[in-house]
Amino acid sequence: MVEKAEKNVAKAGLEKRITIRQGNATNLPFEDKSFHAAIALLVLHHILGYERAIKEVYRVLKDRGMFVVLEFGWNKSAVFRIGSLFFPPAHWISKEELLASLKENGFKIERSRDHGFGLASIIALKQQLHELLAFN
């Protein structure tokens, strides 16, 4: 995957603007407050201890940074039960569980949407400390 990404970046002529790095989602190789945005597309259910990955995203996001998540919302439908036989995840995460984990780690849920077939997208914003302590 890394090699393919590097080829795509070169093909687009973006080597000076994009650096491909491989790392562990539960221990990201970046300084605190490095990024304005982070995206996790159908990846969290593959990570054992995905909650730690969410903490890491929070750590590397700048204040008011945005975290966009597209994830399967586990449900007990036959489609998911059959699909999990062929593509077993590390952990099926319900949408409610994911929303709770994001909130517990300081994110404010800006938008949450179901897309059908068990897919859900979430846009979460990193709050500044004074916003977390505000009484609304």
Dihedral angle, C-alpha 15, 125, 40, 31, nearest 10 °: 50
Give me the CATH code for the 29-133 domain, please.
3.40.50.150
Which residues of the chain have a pLDDT value below 50?
A: 130, 135-136
What is the predicted pLDDT for the residue at 122? 81
- Helix, strand, coil abundance in the chain, percent, nearest 5: 35, 30, 35
- Domain ranges (residues) in the chain: 29-133
Consecutive H or E run containing 5: helix 2-11
